[in-house]
Amino acid sequence: MESIYLLCVGILFIIATFDIMVGVSNDAVNFLQSAIGSRTAPFRTLLIIAAIGIFIGASMSNGMMDIARHGIYQPQYFYFNEIMIILLAVMLTDVILLDVFNSLGLPTSTTVSMVFELLGGTFALSLIKVITSNDSLTFGQLINTDKALSVITAIFVSVALAFACGTIVQFLARLLFRYNYDKQLKRWGALFSGFALTTILYFIVFKGLKDSSIMTAENKQFIEDNTMMLLGVCMGVFTLLMALLQLCKVNVLKVVVLAGTFALALAFAGNDLVNFIGVPLAGYSAYSDFVTNGNGLSPDSFLMTSLSKSANTSPLFLIGAGIIMVIVLFTSKKTHHVVQTSIALSRQSAGEEGFGTSPLARQLVRTSINIGNAVLKITPKSVKKFVDNRFDINEAILPDGAAYDLVRASINLVVASLLIALGTSLKLPLSTTYVTFMVAMGTSLADRAWGRESAVYRITGVISVIGGWFVTAGVASLACFIVTLILYYGGFVATFILTAIVIYIIIHSQVSFNKKQKQQQEKKSIDELLLSNKDPKQALPLLQQHTREEYTQFIAWCAEAYGRATEGFFEDKASALRKARHKVKNQRQSLRISHRVSAIALTKLEESDWIERGLHLQQSNKIVMDIYHSVKRLVESTFEHIDNNFEPVDEAQYNECNTLGNDIIAFLKKCGEAIARNEKQFDEINNEGRNVINRIKEIRRKEMEHIRQTSASKKVELVYLTFLQESQAIIAHAIHLVHVNAKFQRN
């Protein structure tokens, strides 16, 4: 029996390794976002600085994994086998949940996920124990709900406080430095940087190292008694040092950003390490206690009172975890994916938006505009002129590819560090993930990065991320509740099966993600080059390449969707039509993003190309949308018919359109190849397309005659006519697209 439970402990540590991988990918956004967004240093340099912070933070972590030992459940009321079930359920649920968020590119809180997984698992077993104990046990004895409530409070406090502080501080900082900050930096740079570094040091001490091994009781007391004096000394020393660096022509804002990156990485590893290895270490401690003090008792009769005490973790575990975290930081592509979400939502320039719009976002934008207009009416003209001069975006100093400047990056790190440090010292439950993300959103709003053309997309993105945080709590709790019940009633067989499934899902997810990233890399490269290009002479060839790739991919999608619709309608397969319907919904977002990129890139063309090329591009995009809507109408009408189990097409209709459908798909592929190769073969495509259209017209005439003569149900006949009509429209639009795009591609 002991060997089985030892194997369970091994499973906990194996899953913990995967959990560290997905956890670091998620939380890297906290400390990398500002440095990457401002292009403070080469990416590899930033990773090295963050890695040093992570390793030091992990190695000097307090090792007090109390939240997993007795933070949610009261261990003195649970037996050894019950504790192991809860811990296994937590790890199995956590690694899947975080991986899903990473794959979606949404940052979430590892603390929230672990706390609510513990809550869900504990509630499942507590429910069983209360029912079987004949009222001798209560939920109040078994569950510690205070921690869960504090985490819920943290969400509201972090979101509101961080966003407000980020907005206010960034607005004041921009008034001081303006976008062209060179002159003001020479005057105020040393003082500002000295204050920023003092804040960051305060954050390191009170958040990153507050419970580390070097922070003895005497050291803590000395710092608490002399906090203001120590901060004053640091302020003076750092200000003097920054002044000297300015004399040496060093940009002190870069020093601030790099120091902030190191500090947040250190704090992340020092405080959030419990979220990854706290549960397996609690399981290891429980197993050791059972083996040492079990005295022949069975696992279901040995109470885990020992977990009520705090336990120091071996430095080997901490160092090992730190090494894994560093390796993941350098190798995980999902890390970059999550970071890019925050950067995209806060970048200064217009460009491809990763989110759509929502009714709530549209209403918030409308309300904000109305409030802003009301404020402007009562604001003196001199004040408006002064503010507009300080916020002249045309003066912005942005390195190539940077999402925002060093002033905003510094404010992001300073405000986040100060809020987290103050919250920790005042024992307020602030989340690092929530604070860093919402500060970045607040500073981007204050910096006028959310313009009329992008605000609704950005706000939708922020709402999606915040909504994901709340979903994390509910899904984590419910999922762990279910997994706990499966493990309780399924025993060791269920444990091993679920473990194998989880490991397979994680590996498959990583492989699929890497494949998807590889497929998107070339497209992403041309889009980034197109949007960042500043040479009008290079803009047209890049835009032509972009449209060729986009239209080729769209025609290929159209052929695939049409094939699925044809198969589903004529062979009475609802599953094929359901897949086609899903692809139609996803394609709408892709088209919106593609057209937005091309519209922004169009403004970069030379004046001689602007009007003629712009008209051709606008017309081509309009044709693409016409094809999309024809496919959508075709799919929706046929899906509704088949999904309702109405009468299928008859044999004559099937035979009539079987060959026609294949010919239409082949013609669409030929159009895609012509666009991809930029071939001048319009006459051939036009003649072939017209032949297909004439065949469709003839079939439609026959069908109309058939409807007049037959007394059968007309439902399938009308859907069949709709199918033919939209097929004809798709062919006509495809011919037109090849023709107009050829004009746009003309040299």
Q: What is the dihedral of CA 129, 132, 135, 139, to 10 degrees?
A: 20
Q: What backbone phi and psi angles, to 5 degrees, belong to 706?
A: -65, -40
Assigned CATH for 533-745: 1.20.58.220
Banded model confidence at residue 521, pLDDT cuts 50, 70, 90: low
- List the one residue out of 709, 628, 694 whose CA is nearest residue 660: 694
Q: What is the dihedral of CA 160, 163, 164, 170, to 10 degrees?
A: 170
pLDDT at 275 over 80: no
What's residue 519's pLDDT?
A: 57
All CATH 1.20.58.220 domain ranges in the chain, comma separated: 533-745
Do 290 and 38 touch, CB atoms closer than 8 A? no
Q: How many CA atoms lie within 13 A of 525 on its CB side?
A: 6
The residue among 534 and 246 whose pLDDT is bigger is 246
Residue with tokens 């009222």: 135
What's residue 438's pLDDT?
A: 87
Q: What backbone phi and psi angles, to 5 degrees, belong to 596?
A: -70, -40
What's residue 313's pLDDT?
A: 73
SS3 of residue 418 by DSSP: helix
Please give the share of the chain, as a percent, with pLDDT higher than 90.
Answer: 14
**CA–CA gap between residue 426 and residue 587 (Å, rounded):** 49
DSSP 585-596: HHHHHHHHHHHH
SS3 of residue 73 by DSSP: strand
**CA–CA gap between residue 288 and residue 296 (Å, rounded):** 14
Banded model confidence at residue 735, pLDDT cuts 50, 70, 90: very high
Banded model confidence at residue 349, pLDDT cuts 50, 70, 90: low
DSSP 206-220: IIISTTSTT--HHHH
What's residue 426's pLDDT?
A: 62
Do 29 and 342 touch, CB atoms closer than 8 A? yes
- Report angle CA 294, 299, 301 to the nearest 5 degrees: 80
What mean pLDDT is predicted for residues 367-393?
84
The residue among 118 and 268 whose pLDDT is bigger is 118
What does the DSSP 8-state code read for residue 454?
A: T
- List the one residue out of 435, 600, 392 whose CA is nearest residue 34: 435
What mean pLDDT is predicted for residues 112-116?
83
**Interacting residues of 524 by C-beta distance below 8 A, sequence separation 6+:** none
Q: pLDDT by residue (tens digit) across 250-266?
A: 889 899 999 988 888 88
Q: How many CA atoms lie within 13 A of 307 on its CB side?
A: 34
Separation in Å, CA 8 to CA 12, 88, 215, 274 = 6, 8, 35, 19
pLDDT at 528 over 70: no
Q: How many CA atoms lie within 13 A of 373 on its CB side?
A: 6
pLDDT at 63 over 50: no
Sign of CA dihedral 317, 318, 323, 326: positive
Q: pLDDT by residue (tens digit) across 291-336?
A: 888 787 888 888 888 888 876 777 788 888 888 888 888 887 766 6
Six-digit token string for 42: 């080469």
**CA–CA gap between residue 16 and residue 422 (Å, rounded):** 31
**CA–CA gap between residue 740 and residue 747 (Å, rounded):** 14
Six-digit token string for 295: 């005295």
What's residue 703's pLDDT?
A: 82
**CA–CA gap between residue 408 and residue 447 (Å, rounded):** 8
**CA–CA gap between residue 520 and residue 594 (Å, rounded):** 13
pLDDT at 64 over 50: no
What's residue 709's pLDDT?
A: 72
Highest mean pLDDT, choosing among 482-491, 537-546, 672-681: 482-491
**CA–CA gap between residue 566 and residue 573 (Å, rounded):** 10
What mean pLDDT is predicted for residues 508-512?
77
**CA–CA gap between residue 125 and residue 499 (Å, rounded):** 20
What mean pLDDT is predicted for residues 691-696?
91
What's residue 556's pLDDT?
A: 92
CA 512 to chain centre: 17
Banded model confidence at residue 123, pLDDT cuts 50, 70, 90: very high
**CA–CA gap between residue 429 and residue 437 (Å, rounded):** 16
Residue with tokens 């294949």: 662
**CA–CA gap between residue 692 and residue 470 (Å, rounded):** 53
Average pLDDT, the chain: 82
Banded model confidence at residue 536, pLDDT cuts 50, 70, 90: low
Name beta bridge partners: 79. 303
What's residue 327's pLDDT?
A: 87
DSSP 494-531: HHHHHHHHHHHHHHHHHHHHHHHHHHHHHHHHHHHHHH
Give the type of residue at 426.
L
**CA–CA gap between residue 429 and residue 150 (Å, rounded):** 6
Six-digit token string for 406: 């060093």
Separation in Å, CA 83 to CA 74, 179, 283, 602, 714 = 10, 56, 8, 62, 64
pLDDT at 712 over 70: no
Q: What is the dihedral of CA 255, 259, 260, 266, to 10 degrees?
A: 170
**Interacting residues of 715 by C-beta distance below 8 A, sequence separation 6+:** 641, 646, 647
Which of 303-312, 332-341, 554-563 is predicted least confidently?
Answer: 332-341
Please give the share of the chain, as a percent, with pLDDT higher than 70.
Answer: 87
Do 393 and 181 touch, CB atoms closer than 8 A? no
Do 19 and 113 touch, CB atoms closer than 8 A? no
Banded model confidence at residue 624, pLDDT cuts 50, 70, 90: very high
- Report angle CA 169, 174, 180 to the nearest 5 degrees: 155
What's residue 711's pLDDT?
A: 58
Q: What is the dihedral of CA 706, 711, 713, 714, to 10 degrees?
A: 40
